[in-house]
Structure 1
Amino acid sequence: MDRTFKYHAVDFLLPAQRFNIHFSYVSQRGLPFVREFVLRLVHLSPMTKSQISVFFGFSRREIDEAVADLVTREELMLNETGRLALTEKSIGYFSDLGEAPKLALLQDSWARLCFDLATLSCHGNLRSDKWKSGISLPVATESIAKSESLVEKAFQHQFHEILNKNLLSKSLTQDEKDNPTVYTVNTVNKIGQMPLRLTVNFNVDEQGRSVEREDFEILNDSDYVQQLITIELDRLARPNNMIEIAKAMMQINDDFTIKLIESKTHSINLNFLEDLHKIEENSAKRITFIGPLYSEENWALLQKHLAPALNSRIKNGINDDQRSFIWLASSDPYWSKSNRLHVALSDFYNKAKTKDKTLYSPTLYLPIENSEDQRAIKQWKNELDPDLENAHGIREGFLGGNVEVLALERELAVVVYHMSFPESYPVTMPVGFICTDSKAVNLIETLVRKYIQGSAGHEKPNDCGPIKKLLHNQKEKLLIS
């Protein structure tokens, strides 16, 4: 079996709505013992009262009561020969000769269920989520406007599937022999909207070729949603940035990562990655990785290399709130499009302090056009709130906007190149390295600081200031105007 390697994971947000659904259903229930077996016997052949009495060993009083009850229920009658026979009503209890009779009961029930508006798949009672850290997938406005009537039909069509997933009341499934069916849907009321978060893994094979995306098991129609995703990927596509990436590597003095790229095909060389890891194991001062820095695997790798520096400070009682830890994001359209980023940011901020010591001062730099770029500023607020306490806006352009850096002063640096090879891969490929070599860390840190402290002209500093302050300034301008 061919191996695949994940190089990116992106969350897509599919519109979904929650509904209160009131409906009536018909269930088939068994009958009491005597009633069932008298009817089963007569179903085989019409009989006299005495024949039934002999068969069951009933007394005269017992057979009189049993037959009278069934006649009253309109389930037995006398036929033209004077024998007891089934009525049209009781004949309907039987599906086949010899089968147990089932009585159809009409009952009311309700359910609170979520349906996505692209495929109308039922997702139970989805946990509420926010429209952030993902790429929103548009659906037809008609699907939103007519969602209640569309869900009514979908619920009836998918009723047994929803029932088998145990998404309905337990009273509908208490008896495994029951087979309830929808009689009618009385009302469908929309009570909320939220995104259905779909995480898409982007993989390559052993030759570095892009692998087809996997289907979504939770959707009725993966093909349609895959089409929506492809449209968004095409919209976000950027030109090949190989030349800019090569220039950035030269400035960082990185001679290794460039060897991972096949220059003719602009694809990744996984065989060389394995060789590079063997070389790096000997030095223990650099490790190369593929994928977002905040992915579970890569973030764990970072913590492993970061731990010695932080543990040393704790052990030696160092209290240093001046030592900076900078995280400078790239302008890549897929950066931050995953819930995993919030886990990493929480780590980034929370590990800055122990109970009684400050180990470093964390700052997150987010790319914007300038301090007046309210669209980007508001987008970052929506995307990363509440992780904005130490977030600054930084003028776009650091190493062409293609490079992400995380640097702990004098201790450690992480560089991630966000490579755009649209002819080979549908999304950018993050490729980076973690290093603790003092010379390399100093070079990277110097590049970052020089850019942050630089400017694009008179009174146009690259560091545009805290995101929260930029938002506040804009509100004041709106009030004044």
Structure 2
Amino acid sequence: MNPDCIEFNRVTFALPTQAFKITAYISAEERLPAVTEFVLRLLHTCGRVSLIGLRDYFGFSDAEALSVIESMERMGQIKLDEDYLALSDEFAARFEASPDECPWVAKLKKRTDTVSFDLLAFTNLRRTQSIFPTDNWIKLNPSADVVGGSVDRAKRAYRENFTEIEREHARNRGQERERSYGVHSIENVHANRPSFIPITVGFGVDRKGRLVTVLPEEFESGANFSLVTEFRDRINEELERSPATDNAFVETFLDKFQLDFLRKYVIGNNLDIRAFAQDMAHGLSSSSGVYPLFGSLGSKTNREFIALQINEARKGGKRVPKHLSSLMWQAPNYEFWGRGEEFKAAVEIFTKALKSGGSGDDLHVMDYAQERQEVSVRSKYANTGLVELHLAQPDILSAATWTESLELMLYPGQFTVAMIHAQLENCPGVRYSFGVLSTKGAHLRLVHQLLLERGREQRYGGRWPPKKPAAPIKQAKSLADACTFLAFSDWG
């Protein structure tokens, strides 16, 4: 990883792959039968040998000697000059070309390989475990023409990558690679069902504030260069499809939450990410009960800090009673939020913290979904461990856009998190987030109000638990009706 990169988000993308069972004939080199090879090596050493000398040397009978000589002459291995034998020109050349003084010969051998290729650049994938994807990942689906022509592409890729494929398979068997000339013909190709490989990508900025896309080291160093290039291009295409945003709402966010200590880091409508991150690392001062945060709340640092607040609230202390409650987490209206392993890890650690103390508290997430798009949005949370999902329709009026860029978290009566998601300068589709965790009563009340406004009756789409049937269950009229624990938010 680039030590100068400041990372602000991680997203898991799904690389499409497909395994093919390929039966082919290979032009392989092999050693000759022992007697034949010994005769050839004798002739190579001696040059010419008489028929009688050959017979006597090997102890053949006349009939045996005649049979061997006729067979080798018929196969073009030797030539007979009166009563003397010598190597044919072809086999004399084979000895000259051989690295080990053995007359290797070509032979067609049938073999069957099961080979996996990616469906972006059609390169051979070594030692990978493809799995069927969760919709929580961003799937980089191949184009229709690639899928339709996958068998022909697999044939071509098998020919082009055969040496690498053969070497890898031999290594897995603990054997030496066969001496071969490559693929002679492909007899049959059976295509398995396409699958995916999850690859978690980091997004950050370098010293000059430019976007840095961080790929896993084992993928970037181990994959074919053409695949890495195509993979990066496809990520950029996905990002560019995400609508651009106006960062004018950054000022609105600072005003609403009275975060004046952050203003010195905002230049125009953009955050000076490096300065902010560096000051945070050295202990950025803020008012009592307010703690600055940067980047994904699912990052290891942020999720552990939030889990610590939950645990402390639930265990209480001297003169401080236990405070048991569920946790509400409001998603921003952003396609690349909560997509991947970091979100799953955050769900796990928050849920575990909320189960301490023996109550039935849980993590509740609220996301956006247009009418009749609820099932699609809910599928994004499959296999994340999330149990409680609420959906609300997005604002139609552009004046309310700033609230859709908010990411909020509320543990009623104890603490709240408020983050704003802003677009990285000159990078449409790429957003970073910054904000605070606060225990101030004013912040708790403001977040409570914003949550209830988002989940009001006219916009609330109901509970859509990811593990339940397609329809919402026990439909409530509003978020307040569905999440009665929010009624205690004003305790702070």
With normalisation by structure 1, the TM-score equals 0.79
Residue 102 of structure 1 corresponds to 104
Does residue 160 of the first structure (1) align with residue 163 of the second (2)? Answer: yes
Contact 1:21 1:188 in 2 (8 A): yes
**Displacement, 1:318?**
8.3
Residue 131 of structure 2 corresponds to 128
Residue 60 of structure 1 corresponds to 59
Q: Are residues 240 and 41 of structure 1, via their aligned partners in 2, closer, same or farther at CA, if it must alter by over 3 Å?
A: farther
Q: Are residues 256 and 359 of structure 1, via their aligned partners in 2, closer, same or farther at CA, if it must alter by over 3 Å?
A: farther
Give runs of aligned pairs for residues 174-253 of structure 1, distance below 5 A. 174-176=175-177, 178-179=179-180, 181-211=182-212, 216-217=220-221, 218-221=223-226, 222-241=228-247, 243-253=248-258
Which of the residues 410, 418, 422 maps onto 2:421?
418
Bigger Cα displacement from structure 2, 230-239 vs 176-185: 176-185
Contact 2:11 2:202 in 1 (8 A): yes
Distance in 1, Cα, partners of 2:201 & 2:62: 68
Q: Alpha-carbon deviations, 1:105-124, whole Å to 9, x = none?
A: 43222222322222111225
Contact 2:246 2:423 in 1 (8 A): yes
Q: Are residues 49 and 452 of structure 1, via their aligned partners in 2, closer, same or farther at CA, if it must alter by over 3 Å?
A: same
Contact 1:133 1:339 in 2 (8 A): no
Q: Secondary structure at the match of 1:336?
A: coil
Bigger Cα displacement from structure 2, 279-288 vs 154-163: 279-288
Bigger Cα displacement from structure 2, 147-156 vs 71-80: 71-80
Q: Are residues 267 and 184 of structure 1, via their aligned partners in 2, closer, same or farther at CA, if it must alter by over 3 Å?
A: farther
Q: Secondary structure at the match of 1:472?
A: coil
**Displacement, 1:20?**
1.9
Distance in 1, Cα, partners of 2:153 & 2:277: 50
RMSD of aligned residue pairs (Cα, Å): 3.9
**Displacement, 1:35?**
4.5
Q: Secondary structure at the match of 2:43?
A: helix
Does residue 394 of the first structure (1) align with residue 399 of the second (2)? Answer: no
Bigger Cα displacement from structure 2, 152-161 vs 402-411: 402-411
Residues paired across the two proteins, number: 455
Q: Are residues 90 and 357 of structure 1, via their aligned partners in 2, closer, same or farther at CA, if it must alter by over 3 Å?
A: same
Which AA in structure 1 matches 2:381? Answer: L
Residue 339 of structure 1 corresponds to 341
Contact 2:393 2:461 in 1 (8 A): yes
Which AA in structure 1 matches 2:412? Answer: E
Does residue 271 of the first structure (1) align with residue 275 of the second (2)? Answer: yes
Which of the residues 288, 299, 303 maps onto 1:299?
303
Contact 1:121 1:220 in 2 (8 A): no
Which of the residues 451, 461, 464 maps onto 1:464?
461
Q: Alpha-carbon deviations, 1:20-56, whole Å to 9, x = none?
A: 22222233233466643442342352333566689xx
Distance in 2, Cα, partners of 1:365 & 1:26: 61
Give unpaired runs (5+ residues) of structure 2. Answer: 476-492
Contact 1:415 1:434 in 2 (8 A): yes
Which AA in structure 1 matches 2:471? Answer: H
Q: Secondary structure at the match of 1:384?
A: coil
Distance in 1, Cα, partners of 2:451 & 2:122: 48
Q: Alpha-carbon deviations, 1:204-254, whole Å to 9, x = none?
A: 11232334766945245233443333332222131322x212212222222
Q: Alpha-carbon deviations, 1:253-305, whole Å to 9, x = none?
A: 222344333327x3524134322443348989554343221134433443455
Distance in 2, Cα, partners of 1:316 & 1:163: 70
Distance in 1, Cα, partners of 2:319 & 2:44: 90
Which AA in structure 2 matches 1:233? Answer: L
Contact 1:245 1:402 in 2 (8 A): no
Distance in 2, Cα, partners of 1:295 & 1:66: 80
Residue 453 of structure 1 corresponds to 452
Residue 436 of structure 2 corresponds to 433
Q: Are residues 220 and 16 of structure 1, via their aligned partners in 2, closer, same or farther at CA, if it must alter by over 3 Å?
A: same
Distance in 1, Cα, partners of 2:205 & 2:95: 58
Distance in 2, Cα, partners of 1:316 & 1:103: 89
Contact 1:24 1:186 in 2 (8 A): yes
Does residue 150 of the first structure (1) align with residue 162 of the second (2)? Answer: no
Distance in 1, Cα, partners of 2:393 & 2:36: 83
**Displacement, 1:139?**
3.5
Residue 254 of structure 1 corresponds to 259
Does residue 379 of the first structure (1) align with residue 376 of the second (2)? Answer: yes
**Displacement, 1:66?**
8.1
Which AA in structure 2 matches 1:22? Answer: T
Q: Are residues 118 and 81 of structure 1, via their aligned partners in 2, closer, same or farther at CA, if it must alter by over 3 Å?
A: same
Distance in 2, Cα, partners of 1:64 & 1:430: 90
Query: What percent of counterpart residues are identical?
Result: 19
Residue 479 of structure 1 corresponds to none
Q: Secondary structure at the match of 2:390?
A: strand
Distance in 1, Cα, partners of 2:59 & 2:147: 67
Contact 2:298 2:346 in 1 (8 A): yes
**Displacement, 1:144?**
1.2
Contact 1:2 1:205 in 2 (8 A): no
Bigger Cα displacement from structure 2, 38-47 vs 245-254: 38-47
Distance in 2, Cα, partners of 1:422 & 1:35: 75
Q: Are residues 62 and 76 of structure 1, via their aligned partners in 2, closer, same or farther at CA, if it must alter by over 3 Å?
A: farther
Distance in 2, Cα, partners of 1:114 & 1:32: 36
Distance in 2, Cα, partners of 1:297 & 1:32: 67
Contact 1:122 1:162 in 2 (8 A): yes
Which AA in structure 1 matches 2:336? Answer: Y
Contact 2:365 2:388 in 1 (8 A): yes
Distance in 2, Cα, partners of 1:304 & 1:37: 78
**Displacement, 1:126?**
3.6
Distance in 1, Cα, partners of 2:375 & 2:444: 29
Contact 1:21 1:113 in 2 (8 A): yes
Distance in 1, Cα, partners of 2:38 & 2:139: 60
Distance in 2, Cα, partners of 1:309 & 1:95: 82
